[in-house]
Structure 1
């Protein structure tokens, strides 16, 4: 009787696992559906979604407190390591980096490679599109760009 029960479990276990996969056509769990959902996001929506990885350590709005990382309000155009009230690493404060789209992109690619010795533990963003989206989102939320696009701009 134990052999029969064990055999039943061995046979039924893969069936149970496949049932958990949600292959029902009415569910939105297929890889294709996930790709479609991410393609339909605007760049700012994509940036907001990607920024969720950052918000555990960084705040964006003026007057919010620093966390493990500094508040990023006003980051664009500011020299790295100069946000008052945050204890930066020596390497960050000694750097001559000024935060622009290009320097922030390079930093977010792989922070430890861009500035060896900095304390940011984030591994980086491989995708150029992801970096561009999160930079635009940060710029929008930190007062570096308007939420309404200028119709006169090229």
Structure 2
């Protein structure tokens, strides 16, 4: 092999290296990553209200009395299936993670039912009125700060009214429906 052949081989190797080097510089210039000012991703989280009255201030948009006039017990029974993960509904059933809800409308808050309620629920006092159930199902932690119930709540007014109408039927003596003011 003469020197001319050797020069062609070395020229081809050097030319290939030069092309690779230029391609690398060009790719770095085109595809340079933009580093964020703060590392990581921002996760959008619904802000919880401060404490006490501000948390309970997230009142439902429409009065429950009006919503209950058009509520569907059948739809409420279907919507209450998500509650069955923790609650039972039949008379005499054992408690689950949460108390049995048979006869809950008009019953005392945080008492009886053979269930160990959280201190926050025991301290709430009073009876479960339609307004209280509506507020609690909307935002359990807002209505009873410190409750052990981990459910986020039902935001849709009509669905909440359907569930409350269904809970009303779970009683030997259902509490009469409130009359709508308008």
- The answer as to 2:78 corresponding to 1:49 is yes
Cα pair 1:108 1:124 within 8 Å, conserved: yes
Name the larger-Rg structure.
Answer: 2
Cα pair 2:93 2:100 within 8 Å, conserved: yes
TM-score (norm 1): 0.63
Partner of 2:90: 61
Q: State the distance in 2 between where 1:44 and 1:68 align.
A: 24
TM-score (norm 2): 0.54
Q: State the distance in 2 between where 1:107 and 1:117 align.
A: 13
Cα pair 1:73 1:143 within 8 Å, conserved: no
Q: 1:80 to 1:129 in 2, by over 3 A?
A: same
CA deviation digits over 1:93-131, x for unaligned, max 9?
111231011100000001000110001111001111111
User: Does 128-137 or 81-90 show the bigger shift?
Assistant: 81-90
RMSD (Å) for aligned C-alpha atoms: 1.7
Partner of 1:116: 145
Stretches of structure 1 that go unaligned for 5 or more consecutive residues are: 1-41, 147-154
Q: State the distance in 1 between where 2:120 and 2:158 align.
A: 28
Cα pair 1:72 1:142 within 8 Å, conserved: no
CA deviation digits over 1:8-63, x for unaligned, max 9?
xxxxxxxxxxxxxxxxxxxxxxxxxxxxxxxxxx7122101110000111111211
Task: Flag as ranges the 4+ runs of structure 1 deviating above 3 A.
Answer: 142-146
Partner of 2:134: 105
- The answer as to 2:168 corresponding to 1:139 is yes
Alpha-carbon distance, 1:83 to partner: 2.3
Alpha-carbon distance, 1:144 to partner: 4.7
Stretches of structure 2 that go unaligned for 5 or more consecutive residues are: 1-70, 176-182
CA deviation digits over 1:44-95, x for unaligned, max 9?
2210111000011111121100000001122111111112321110011111
Partner of 2:22: none
Partner of 2:117: 88
